[in-house]
Chains A and B, each alone.
Chain A
Amino acid sequence: MNWGSAAEFFAMGGHGFYVWGSFGACVLFMIAEPILASGRQKGILRTLRRERIAEDLEKDTK
């Protein structure tokens, strides 16, 4: 085990800002990117559903 306490772990021997800045950026972007990707998927599915409903309505009115 490298760390005596939690504070030591977060301090990273004085390099905390750099280490957590790097790991934090990776985690942040790697959470954001899938959210954006699934948002894109949901967006296109929503349009497709709307188009479908519009088509059904058109059929009903005929």
Chain B
Amino acid sequence: MSNRIINWFKFASPQSFYPLAGKMIPWFWALAVAFGIAGLWISFFVAPTDAQQGEGYRIIFVHVPASWMSMFIYLIMAAWAGLGLALKTRLSGMMAQALAPTGALMALLSLWTGALWGKPMWGTWWVWDARLTSELILFFLYIGFIALQAAIDDPRRADKAGAILALVGVVNIPIIYFSVKWWNTLHQGASVSLTKSPSMAQTMLWGMLIMALAFWMYSIAVALMRVRAIILERESHSDWVKELREVKS
């Protein structure tokens, strides 16, 4: 048991994680591309035309995975941040910092594709629906996290402050979601509910799941790329960085 713990902690040091991440990145890219191609194939050539929404519904194959990822990434980011606060591992803060831009991008994509989906289906680019509104607020939370970390020069302090903000955000996300939902039902007259989806065909579900896997793999790959850069930036004065092959040549 103790052996295993030591092994895990070994990879928790930036020095040993840097080459490991480098080895993992191509694999995740390969998986992301493979799942992406399969997902695109299903979403355009296998999934049939929807009886009610025509071809426009195909946006669901990127919209739903992007929304899922935006939420998952926030949770994972907060988990890394909390871990960093509790165990004081250097890598955790770097992981949280590396994940934030990808999460913000996913939230942005979710909003963008949601607007493009809403226009042909419901006639407006934007409705103050509970899901849309809370996705927008989630985007604000990401921006706040990134801005706070960018404003603090000392990386250790930035990590800790960011961790507290991420944890406060995690506590608040369900509250925000339910308050927005409550607010939306009160104002039902003015808005259209996007929650009533037609019963989903089996192929659509598969397409969405495979696309979600592609988004997962993409997010992991790009976060690992960014964490490698962050490791080098923060550890630039340590000996192991100076001994790296990339630096020596």
Chain A interface (Cβ within 8 Å of chain B)?
1-3, 9, 12-15, 18-19, 21-23, 25-26, 29-30, 33-34, 37-38, 40-41, 43-45, 47-49, 51-52
Give the residues in chain A near B155, CB-CB below 8 Å. Answer: none
Q: How far is the CB of A34 from chain B (nearest CB, A)?
A: 5
Is there a chain A Cβ closer than 8 Å to B216's Cβ?
no
Chain B interface (Cβ within 8 Å of chain A)?
40, 44-45, 48-49, 54-56, 58-59, 62-63, 66, 101-102, 105, 108-109, 112-113, 116-117, 119-120, 218, 221-222, 225-226, 228-229, 232-233, 236, 241-242, 244, 246-248
Cβ of A22 and Cβ of B45 under 8 Å apart?
Answer: no
Identify whether the interface residues of B are mostly helix, strand, loop, or mixed: helix
Q: Report if A29-B105 is in contact (Cβ < 8 Å); known contacts: A13-B56, A45-B247.
A: yes
A33 to B66, CA, bound (A): 15
A45 to B119, CA, bound (A): 45
Cβ of B236 and Cβ of A26 under 8 Å apart?
Answer: no
Q: Report if A44-B55 is in contact (Cβ < 8 Å); known contacts: A18-B116, A29-B109.
A: no
A48 to B236, CA, bound (A): 7
A52 to B228, CA, bound (A): 19
Give the residues in chain A near B48, CB-CB below 8 Å. Answer: 2
Give the residues in chain A near B63, CB-CB below 8 Å. Answer: 22
Cβ of A25 and Cβ of B44 under 8 Å apart?
Answer: no
Q: Report if A19-B56 is in contact (Cβ < 8 Å); known contacts: A9-B44, A48-B247.
A: yes
Q: Which 4 residue pairs of A and B lie closest in terms of their CB atoms, listed nearest first?
A: A13-B55, A15-B56, A22-B113, A37-B225
A2 to B221, CA, bound (A): 33
